[in-house]
Structure 1
Amino acid sequence: MTTTRLLGIVGSPSPGGRSLVALRALLDGAAATGAATEVIELADGPDPEAVQRAIEAADGIAFATPTYRARSSSLVKGVLENTERGVAGDTRAPLLGKATAIVHTGATAHHFLAVDDLRDVLGGFFAAQVLSPGLYFEGADYVDATTLTDRARALADAHGRAFAEFTTAVRAAPAVRALRPLL
Protein backbone atom coordinates (compact mmCIF):
# COMPACT_ATOMS: atom_id res chain seq x y z
CA MET A 1 0.00 0.00 0.00
CA THR A 2 1.32 3.44 -0.88
CA THR A 3 1.78 6.12 1.73
CA THR A 4 -1.08 8.59 2.03
CA ARG A 5 0.14 12.09 1.07
CA LEU A 6 -1.57 14.98 2.83
CA LEU A 7 -1.09 18.61 1.95
CA GLY A 8 -1.93 21.42 4.34
CA ILE A 9 -2.58 24.87 2.87
CA VAL A 10 -2.47 27.78 5.32
CA GLY A 11 -4.40 30.84 4.19
CA SER A 12 -3.25 33.27 6.86
CA PRO A 13 -1.70 36.53 5.64
CA SER A 14 0.76 36.23 8.55
CA PRO A 15 3.23 33.34 8.42
CA GLY A 16 3.52 31.18 11.50
CA GLY A 17 0.16 32.19 13.00
CA ARG A 18 -2.55 30.35 14.87
CA SER A 19 -3.94 28.74 11.70
CA LEU A 20 -0.56 27.11 11.09
CA VAL A 21 -0.43 25.90 14.71
CA ALA A 22 -3.88 24.30 14.36
CA LEU A 23 -3.06 22.76 10.97
CA ARG A 24 0.21 21.29 12.24
CA ALA A 25 -1.68 19.70 15.15
CA LEU A 26 -4.12 18.10 12.68
CA LEU A 27 -1.28 16.91 10.46
CA ASP A 28 0.61 15.52 13.46
CA GLY A 29 -2.39 13.29 14.14
CA ALA A 30 -2.38 12.18 10.51
CA ALA A 31 1.38 11.55 10.57
CA ALA A 32 0.91 9.30 13.60
CA THR A 33 -1.02 6.94 11.28
CA GLY A 34 1.86 6.86 8.79
CA ALA A 35 0.70 9.61 6.44
CA ALA A 36 3.27 11.87 4.81
CA THR A 37 2.51 15.56 5.30
CA GLU A 38 3.51 18.81 3.67
CA VAL A 39 2.54 22.42 4.43
CA ILE A 40 2.30 25.41 2.12
CA GLU A 41 1.88 28.82 3.74
CA LEU A 42 0.23 31.19 1.29
CA ALA A 43 1.69 34.17 3.19
CA ASP A 44 5.08 33.12 1.79
CA GLY A 45 3.80 33.93 -1.72
CA PRO A 46 4.28 30.52 -3.34
CA ASP A 47 4.03 30.24 -7.11
CA PRO A 48 0.32 29.60 -7.90
CA GLU A 49 1.26 26.85 -10.36
CA ALA A 50 3.38 25.14 -7.69
CA VAL A 51 0.36 25.19 -5.36
CA GLN A 52 -1.80 23.60 -8.06
CA ARG A 53 0.81 20.90 -8.69
CA ALA A 54 1.01 20.19 -4.95
CA ILE A 55 -2.79 19.84 -4.78
CA GLU A 56 -2.71 17.45 -7.74
CA ALA A 57 0.02 15.33 -6.15
CA ALA A 58 -1.68 15.06 -2.75
CA ASP A 59 -4.22 12.41 -1.80
CA GLY A 60 -5.89 14.79 0.64
CA ILE A 61 -5.81 18.53 1.25
CA ALA A 62 -6.46 20.32 4.54
CA PHE A 63 -7.30 24.02 4.30
CA ALA A 64 -6.48 26.13 7.36
CA THR A 65 -7.60 29.73 7.46
CA PRO A 66 -8.33 32.56 9.82
CA THR A 67 -11.93 33.69 9.74
CA TYR A 68 -12.78 37.15 8.42
CA ARG A 69 -16.39 38.28 8.58
CA ALA A 70 -17.55 34.65 8.85
CA ARG A 71 -15.61 33.63 5.73
CA SER A 72 -12.28 32.11 4.73
CA SER A 73 -9.33 34.36 4.02
CA SER A 74 -8.85 35.95 0.62
CA LEU A 75 -5.69 33.85 0.20
CA VAL A 76 -7.70 30.61 0.40
CA LYS A 77 -10.34 32.09 -1.89
CA GLY A 78 -7.58 33.04 -4.34
CA VAL A 79 -6.24 29.47 -4.46
CA LEU A 80 -9.74 28.13 -5.04
CA GLU A 81 -10.45 30.70 -7.76
CA ASN A 82 -7.25 29.58 -9.48
CA THR A 83 -8.26 25.91 -9.27
CA GLU A 84 -9.99 24.33 -12.26
CA ARG A 85 -12.89 21.94 -11.70
CA GLY A 86 -12.72 19.68 -14.75
CA VAL A 87 -15.80 21.19 -16.42
CA ALA A 88 -16.51 23.54 -19.34
CA GLY A 89 -13.19 23.04 -21.10
CA ASP A 90 -11.01 22.89 -17.97
CA THR A 91 -7.95 20.74 -18.52
CA ARG A 92 -7.39 19.99 -14.83
CA ALA A 93 -9.41 19.13 -11.76
CA PRO A 94 -6.96 18.79 -8.85
CA LEU A 95 -9.64 18.76 -6.12
CA LEU A 96 -12.10 16.49 -7.92
CA GLY A 97 -12.78 13.43 -5.78
CA LYS A 98 -10.06 14.33 -3.27
CA ALA A 99 -10.45 14.09 0.47
CA THR A 100 -10.37 17.50 2.13
CA ALA A 101 -10.45 18.82 5.68
CA ILE A 102 -11.14 22.28 7.07
CA VAL A 103 -9.53 24.14 9.97
CA HIS A 104 -10.84 27.63 10.73
CA THR A 105 -9.50 29.89 13.44
CA GLY A 106 -11.04 33.01 14.91
CA ALA A 107 -10.97 35.32 17.89
CA THR A 108 -14.27 34.03 19.29
CA ALA A 109 -16.74 31.26 18.58
CA HIS A 110 -19.14 33.71 16.89
CA HIS A 111 -18.04 32.81 13.38
CA PHE A 112 -17.73 29.02 13.67
CA LEU A 113 -20.23 28.53 10.85
CA ALA A 114 -17.59 29.78 8.41
CA VAL A 115 -16.53 26.13 8.26
CA ASP A 116 -19.85 25.38 6.54
CA ASP A 117 -19.24 28.00 3.86
CA LEU A 118 -15.92 26.45 2.85
CA ARG A 119 -17.41 22.93 3.08
CA ASP A 120 -20.14 23.95 0.61
CA VAL A 121 -17.61 25.34 -1.86
CA LEU A 122 -15.34 22.30 -1.67
CA GLY A 123 -18.16 19.75 -1.81
CA GLY A 124 -20.58 21.35 -4.24
CA PHE A 125 -18.39 23.44 -6.51
CA PHE A 126 -15.34 21.16 -6.69
CA ALA A 127 -16.91 17.75 -5.88
CA ALA A 128 -14.25 17.21 -3.24
CA GLN A 129 -15.09 14.93 -0.33
CA VAL A 130 -15.04 16.89 2.92
CA LEU A 131 -14.36 15.43 6.35
CA SER A 132 -17.09 16.65 8.67
CA PRO A 133 -17.65 18.43 10.96
CA GLY A 134 -14.45 20.42 10.40
CA LEU A 135 -12.51 22.27 13.08
CA TYR A 136 -12.92 25.76 14.48
CA PHE A 137 -10.52 27.04 17.11
CA GLU A 138 -11.09 30.33 18.90
CA GLY A 139 -8.67 32.34 21.01
CA ALA A 140 -9.60 30.38 24.15
CA ASP A 141 -8.29 27.21 22.46
CA TYR A 142 -4.73 28.56 22.62
CA VAL A 143 -2.41 28.79 25.60
CA ASP A 144 -0.40 31.33 23.62
CA ALA A 145 0.15 32.15 19.94
CA THR A 146 2.06 28.92 19.31
CA THR A 147 0.38 26.40 21.63
CA LEU A 148 -3.06 24.82 21.60
CA THR A 149 -4.72 23.87 24.89
CA ASP A 150 -4.62 20.17 25.72
CA ARG A 151 -8.31 19.82 24.78
CA ALA A 152 -7.85 21.56 21.41
CA ARG A 153 -4.67 19.59 20.68
CA ALA A 154 -6.49 16.30 21.38
CA LEU A 155 -9.36 17.37 19.12
CA ALA A 156 -6.96 18.30 16.30
CA ASP A 157 -5.12 15.00 16.75
CA ALA A 158 -8.39 13.04 16.50
CA HIS A 159 -9.36 14.94 13.36
CA GLY A 160 -5.93 14.33 11.86
CA ARG A 161 -6.19 10.59 12.44
CA ALA A 162 -9.70 10.63 10.98
CA PHE A 163 -8.49 12.69 8.00
CA ALA A 164 -5.80 10.13 7.20
CA GLU A 165 -8.32 7.26 7.37
CA PHE A 166 -10.89 9.26 5.42
CA THR A 167 -8.34 10.03 2.71
CA THR A 168 -7.39 6.37 2.40
CA ALA A 169 -11.07 5.41 2.14
CA VAL A 170 -11.82 8.04 -0.51
CA ARG A 171 -8.74 7.04 -2.49
CA ALA A 172 -9.99 3.42 -2.45
CA ALA A 173 -13.51 4.35 -3.64
CA PRO A 174 -13.53 4.89 -7.44
CA ALA A 175 -17.30 5.52 -7.53
CA VAL A 176 -16.92 8.33 -4.97
CA ARG A 177 -13.94 9.84 -6.81
CA ALA A 178 -15.94 9.76 -10.08
CA LEU A 179 -18.62 12.14 -8.79
CA ARG A 180 -18.69 15.49 -10.58
CA PRO A 181 -19.42 19.07 -9.49
CA LEU A 182 -23.08 20.10 -9.31
CA LEU A 183 -22.82 22.33 -12.41
Structure 2
Amino acid sequence: MPLNVLGVVAGPEPGGRTAAAVAGVLAGAEKAGASVSRLELSQAGADGVIAAFATADAVVFGSPVYRATYSALLKDLLERTERGKWGEKSAPLQGTAAATVLTGASGHHFLAVADLRSVLAGFFAVQVLSPGLYFDHGAYVDRSTLTGDSAALAAGHGAALADLATAIRASTALSAITPQV
Protein backbone atom coordinates (compact mmCIF):
# COMPACT_ATOMS: atom_id res chain seq x y z
CA MET A 1 0.00 0.00 0.00
CA PRO A 2 1.60 3.32 -1.02
CA LEU A 3 2.26 6.02 1.51
CA ASN A 4 -0.24 8.86 1.65
CA VAL A 5 1.49 12.25 1.95
CA LEU A 6 -0.68 15.30 2.56
CA GLY A 7 0.55 18.82 1.85
CA VAL A 8 -1.07 21.61 3.88
CA VAL A 9 -0.60 25.17 2.63
CA ALA A 10 -1.38 27.62 5.43
CA GLY A 11 -1.22 30.92 3.57
CA PRO A 12 -4.06 33.44 3.73
CA GLU A 13 -4.92 32.94 0.06
CA PRO A 14 -4.43 30.03 -2.33
CA GLY A 15 -1.39 29.72 -4.56
CA GLY A 16 1.81 31.69 -4.33
CA ARG A 17 5.25 30.93 -2.96
CA THR A 18 4.24 28.67 -0.08
CA ALA A 19 2.05 26.53 -2.34
CA ALA A 20 4.97 26.19 -4.79
CA ALA A 21 7.32 25.14 -1.97
CA VAL A 22 4.87 22.52 -0.66
CA ALA A 23 4.33 21.26 -4.22
CA GLY A 24 8.11 20.86 -4.56
CA VAL A 25 8.28 18.66 -1.46
CA LEU A 26 5.25 16.65 -2.62
CA ALA A 27 6.91 16.12 -6.03
CA GLY A 28 9.86 14.46 -4.31
CA ALA A 29 7.57 12.25 -2.21
CA GLU A 30 5.59 11.26 -5.29
CA LYS A 31 8.76 10.41 -7.20
CA ALA A 32 9.69 8.17 -4.24
CA GLY A 33 6.41 6.27 -4.75
CA ALA A 34 4.03 8.04 -2.38
CA SER A 35 0.49 9.05 -3.19
CA VAL A 36 0.24 12.81 -2.63
CA SER A 37 -2.48 15.40 -2.18
CA ARG A 38 -2.47 19.08 -1.27
CA LEU A 39 -4.99 21.19 0.61
CA GLU A 40 -5.05 24.97 0.86
CA LEU A 41 -6.10 25.70 4.44
CA SER A 42 -7.69 28.98 3.31
CA GLN A 43 -10.09 26.98 1.13
CA ALA A 44 -10.50 23.60 2.88
CA GLY A 45 -10.79 25.03 6.39
CA ALA A 46 -9.40 23.49 9.55
CA ASP A 47 -12.08 20.80 9.76
CA GLY A 48 -11.36 19.63 6.21
CA VAL A 49 -7.64 19.42 6.85
CA ILE A 50 -8.09 17.64 10.19
CA ALA A 51 -10.31 15.07 8.46
CA ALA A 52 -7.55 14.51 5.87
CA PHE A 53 -5.00 13.86 8.65
CA ALA A 54 -6.80 10.58 9.39
CA THR A 55 -5.49 8.92 6.22
CA ALA A 56 -2.08 10.61 6.03
CA ASP A 57 1.15 8.74 6.75
CA ALA A 58 3.02 12.03 6.46
CA VAL A 59 2.16 15.72 6.34
CA VAL A 60 4.03 18.61 4.76
CA PHE A 61 3.21 21.74 6.75
CA GLY A 62 3.79 24.87 4.69
CA SER A 63 3.32 28.44 5.89
CA PRO A 64 4.48 31.94 5.16
CA VAL A 65 6.23 33.61 8.08
CA TYR A 66 4.60 36.68 9.59
CA ARG A 67 6.11 38.52 12.56
CA ALA A 68 8.77 35.83 12.98
CA THR A 69 6.37 32.87 13.21
CA TYR A 70 4.10 30.68 11.10
CA SER A 71 0.66 31.92 10.07
CA ALA A 72 -2.38 32.37 12.31
CA LEU A 73 -4.20 29.91 10.04
CA LEU A 74 -1.68 27.20 10.88
CA LYS A 75 -1.79 28.09 14.58
CA ASP A 76 -5.58 27.76 14.51
CA LEU A 77 -5.34 24.39 12.73
CA LEU A 78 -2.92 23.05 15.32
CA GLU A 79 -5.02 24.35 18.21
CA ARG A 80 -8.08 22.55 16.81
CA THR A 81 -6.24 19.27 16.19
CA GLU A 82 -6.76 16.76 18.98
CA ARG A 83 -3.80 14.81 20.33
CA GLY A 84 -5.48 12.15 22.44
CA LYS A 85 -4.91 13.86 25.79
CA TRP A 86 -7.14 15.41 28.44
CA GLY A 87 -10.30 13.64 27.29
CA GLU A 88 -9.76 14.13 23.56
CA LYS A 89 -11.03 11.18 21.55
CA SER A 90 -8.59 11.25 18.63
CA ALA A 91 -4.94 11.88 17.82
CA PRO A 92 -4.81 12.16 14.02
CA LEU A 93 -1.15 13.24 13.88
CA GLN A 94 0.19 10.54 16.19
CA GLY A 95 2.34 8.05 14.32
CA THR A 96 2.91 10.32 11.36
CA ALA A 97 5.97 11.90 9.83
CA ALA A 98 6.09 15.59 8.98
CA ALA A 99 8.16 18.00 6.98
CA THR A 100 8.05 21.75 7.45
CA VAL A 101 8.55 24.37 4.78
CA LEU A 102 8.25 28.03 5.66
CA THR A 103 8.53 30.98 3.32
CA GLY A 104 9.44 34.60 3.89
CA ALA A 105 10.65 37.76 2.24
CA SER A 106 14.19 37.42 3.60
CA GLY A 107 16.33 35.04 5.60
CA HIS A 108 15.76 37.00 8.80
CA HIS A 109 12.96 34.73 10.02
CA PHE A 110 14.35 31.28 9.25
CA LEU A 111 14.38 30.33 12.93
CA ALA A 112 10.57 30.10 12.83
CA VAL A 113 11.15 26.61 11.40
CA ALA A 114 12.46 25.48 14.80
CA ASP A 115 9.33 26.77 16.57
CA LEU A 116 7.02 24.77 14.29
CA ARG A 117 9.19 21.65 14.61
CA SER A 118 9.07 21.98 18.40
CA VAL A 119 5.26 22.17 18.48
CA LEU A 120 4.83 19.21 16.13
CA ALA A 121 7.39 17.00 17.86
CA GLY A 122 6.78 17.98 21.47
CA PHE A 123 3.06 18.65 21.60
CA PHE A 124 1.81 16.14 19.01
CA ALA A 125 4.62 13.50 19.14
CA VAL A 126 5.08 13.74 15.37
CA GLN A 127 8.39 12.55 13.91
CA VAL A 128 9.63 15.70 12.15
CA LEU A 129 12.17 15.62 9.34
CA SER A 130 15.11 17.87 10.16
CA PRO A 131 16.23 20.35 9.12
CA GLY A 132 13.06 22.09 8.03
CA LEU A 133 13.04 24.13 4.85
CA TYR A 134 12.94 27.92 4.70
CA PHE A 135 12.70 29.64 1.33
CA ASP A 136 13.04 33.39 0.95
CA HIS A 137 12.29 35.27 -2.26
CA GLY A 138 15.69 34.31 -3.72
CA ALA A 139 14.50 30.69 -3.95
CA TYR A 140 11.93 31.56 -6.65
CA VAL A 141 11.95 32.44 -10.31
CA ASP A 142 8.53 34.06 -9.84
CA ARG A 143 5.64 33.80 -7.34
CA SER A 144 4.84 30.23 -8.30
CA THR A 145 8.10 28.70 -9.55
CA LEU A 146 11.04 27.50 -7.48
CA THR A 147 14.55 27.89 -8.91
CA GLY A 148 16.19 24.66 -10.05
CA ASP A 149 18.32 24.41 -6.90
CA SER A 150 15.34 25.10 -4.62
CA ALA A 151 13.18 22.57 -6.47
CA ALA A 152 15.89 19.93 -6.09
CA LEU A 153 16.22 20.70 -2.37
CA ALA A 154 12.44 20.48 -1.88
CA ALA A 155 12.27 17.20 -3.84
CA GLY A 156 15.07 15.76 -1.72
CA HIS A 157 13.09 16.60 1.40
CA GLY A 158 10.04 14.93 -0.10
CA ALA A 159 11.98 11.72 -0.77
CA ALA A 160 13.43 11.81 2.76
CA LEU A 161 9.95 12.34 4.18
CA ALA A 162 8.73 9.24 2.32
CA ASP A 163 11.63 7.26 3.79
CA LEU A 164 10.87 8.55 7.29
CA ALA A 165 7.17 7.68 6.96
CA THR A 166 8.10 4.18 5.75
CA ALA A 167 10.33 3.69 8.80
CA ILE A 168 7.56 4.85 11.14
CA ARG A 169 5.04 2.57 9.44
CA ALA A 170 7.41 -0.39 9.94
CA SER A 171 8.09 0.39 13.62
CA THR A 172 5.55 -0.40 16.31
CA ALA A 173 7.61 1.64 18.77
CA LEU A 174 7.81 4.79 16.62
CA SER A 175 4.14 4.79 15.73
CA ALA A 176 3.14 4.25 19.38
CA ILE A 177 4.92 7.31 20.80
CA THR A 178 2.43 9.71 22.36
CA PRO A 179 2.73 13.20 23.81
CA GLN A 180 3.87 13.07 27.43
CA VAL A 181 1.84 15.98 28.73
TM-score range, shorter chain: over 0.9
CA distance in 2, matches of 1:66, 1:102: 11
CA distance in 2, matches of 1:110, 1:48: 29
Aligned to 1:109: 107
CA distance in 2, matches of 1:145, 1:120: 29
How far 1:42 moved relative to its partner? 1.1
How far 1:6 moved relative to its partner? 0.3
- Cα deviation, 1:53-87, whole Å, max 9, x if unaligned, reads 20011111110000011111011111101100101
Aligned length: 181
Aligned to 1:11: 10
Q: Which amino acid aligns with 2:7?
A: G
Aligned to 2:180: 182
CA distance in 2, matches of 1:50, 1:101: 20
Aligned to 2:117: 119
- Cα deviation, 1:138-166, whole Å, max 9, x if unaligned, reads 00111111111111111001111111111
Q: Which runs of 4+ in 1 moved over 2 A?
A: 47-50
Give the secondary-structure state (helix, strand or coil) at the position aligned to 1:66.
strand
CA distance in 1, matches of 2:161, 2:54: 17
Give the secondary-structure state (helix, strand or coil) at the position aligned to 1:3.
coil
Aligned to 2:56: 58
Alignment of 1:6-85 (within 5 A): 6-44=5-43, 46-85=44-83
How far 1:49 moved relative to its partner? 2.8
- Where in structure 2 are there 5+ consecutive unaligned residues? none
- Cα deviation, 1:28-52, whole Å, max 9, x if unaligned, reads 01100110001010121x2433221
CA contact (8 A) 2:46 2:76 kept: no
How far 1:180 moved relative to its partner? 1.4
- Where in structure 1 are there 5+ consecutive unaligned residues? none
- Cα deviation, 1:89-129, whole Å, max 9, x if unaligned, reads 11000011210110000000010010000000000000011
CA contact (8 A) 2:83 2:94 kept: yes
Give the secondary-structure state (helix, strand or coil) at the position aligned to 1:87.
coil
RMSD (Å), alpha carbons = 0.9
Aligned to 1:151: 149
CA contact (8 A) 2:65 2:109 kept: yes
